[in-house]
Copies of this chain bind each other. A is one copy, B any other.
Amino acid sequence: MRRDIFQAIADPTRRAIITLIAFQAMTPNAIAENFNTTRQAVSKHLRILAECELVKQEHQGREIYYSLEIDKMKEIDKWLEQFRKIWENRFNQLDNLLLTIKKAEK
């Protein structure tokens, strides 16, 4: 199935996993210890994250270390870009308003 990064971060457990492995690679078992679910459930989440290339695997013996593909996260940032322009502009408008008020006070 076609996976999407926005769909990937929709699930709270997956967001937690992302945060967890952002700084250090971890095995499925180690990750699962942090949640109230089975290892298999975590494994499924990892598969979804891997499908949309949000995580990368590093095999080491029988263990698999998962780590965050940080560049992929930029895609979310990229989508936000269009809106950031708006809210920054709003802020400028507020600036202008405050300036107008100050002028009026003089």
Q: How many residues of A contact B (CB 8 A)?
A: 25
Q: Are A83 and B87 interface neighbours, CB within 8 A?
A: no
The secondary-structure label for the interface of chain A is helix
Among candidates B4, B6, B23, B76, residue contacting A80 with C-beta atoms closer than 8 Å: B76
A7 touches B (CB below 8 Å): yes
Copies of this polypeptide in the complex: 2
* Residues on the B chain within 8 Å of A84, using CB: 77
Smallest CB-CB separation from A73: which chain B residue? Answer: B83
A12 touches B (CB below 8 Å): yes
Name A's B-contacting residues (CB within 8 A). Answer: 4, 6-7, 9-10, 12, 15, 19, 22-23, 68, 70-71, 73-74, 76-77, 79-80, 82-84, 86-87, 90
